[in-house]
Structure 1
Amino acid sequence: MAPRRKVRRPAKNKNGIPVFREDTDFSLYFRDVPSRSVPVGDPTAARRVSKSVSEDFQVLLEESLAGKTAEMLLGEKCDRRLNDGDMTPEQTIRQYPPPQEELDLHGKTAREAIESTRRFVETSRYRGKRTLLVIVGKGLHSEGRAVLPDVVEAELARLRQSGRILAHRWERGARRKSGAIIVYLNPM
């Protein structure tokens, strides 16, 4: 009787998960194309397959980009349709997420609040945020009349005229009920 050949399997840890060597190319294990399987432990074969895969990727990339303008590619990247001009601002706002970042202006002067609001809107637009919450307070602890709601709302109106903001509204629908403004940004 001939001795049995011992099949060599990858080592496993105490949880039964295979343990790989440091030089293992994991991309080989996550391929959809079974014809390119590479024997474990053959680094030259792995390099050959890796090179052909990168060439295939380049061909696929060129095919997918053929005939597309930069505007079309940016529209896809920003997850926008090119026909969004047909939507009203209300329809567009319904697609916006809940506030992604917030700015608390409690304790600031009017000038500081205006500058902070302008800077906050610009940096949030740059970061790709769509919806913001600006907390101005109700003015319950102010001496006299609340100043921040007026100046911040006026600054947001200026930013809307410049095209940086799509719209803004008071969080609870009315200024006297709310101490925060929700801001909907236009994408860059």
Structure 2
Amino acid sequence: MARSKEEIEELARIAAEQFMADLSATGAGGGDLKAVSRRHSSIHEELLSGWSSEDCIIFHRRYSDDVERLVDSPSEQPSGYLYLLPAQAGSKIDRAAIREYVRRDGEALLAAAKKGLNVHQLALDQKDIVDGHVVSLPPEQLDAFNRIYLEEMEASTKFMNSETEKALRKAEASTQPAGSVGKIGGVFIFICLIIILMAFLKK
């Protein structure tokens, strides 16, 4: 699926934020920073698989610029949240952390929808990032993670469906166009309930 320059740069920005936040959290806990770098390199390799060389150049240029920006601005806290997920054997499978990750991914999709970006593609790219992050988990831990992740996605979808219905009712009673609310909410629900579920069924 073709990506616009704006969509590629948005994904690169998210990836840079995720890397720097993961690096910061790992460093604060005395973890292996080189392992974080290797893991994110693997994530990018999977994420960019099949991309054109032109798109890869756009991604890497924006990614490098954002990493450099975050390094040069230590007071600016990276908003990435990939560190919430388990990454290696023995890592705790924390439902609360997974729930928070799902919530933040949903916010990123809604923000992209409001910008008019291709949220369908972004959702698939987000799933690639998750897959690349947890790929080193042993089978039993990976199964436990996938089960909880799917449960939290379903719960998030139900919540967003409820919130969208409330927003639509509110829009109908005011001058706010209901179409824009329904479009954003509908896109989110479709992505969460169909795309993510299908991704798990293929495993």
Question: TM-score normalized by structure 2?
Answer: 0.26
- Identify the structure with the greater helix proportion: 2
Larger Rg: 1
Highest relative contact order (Cα 8 Å, sep 6+), 1 or 2? 2
- Identify the structure with the greater strand proportion: 1
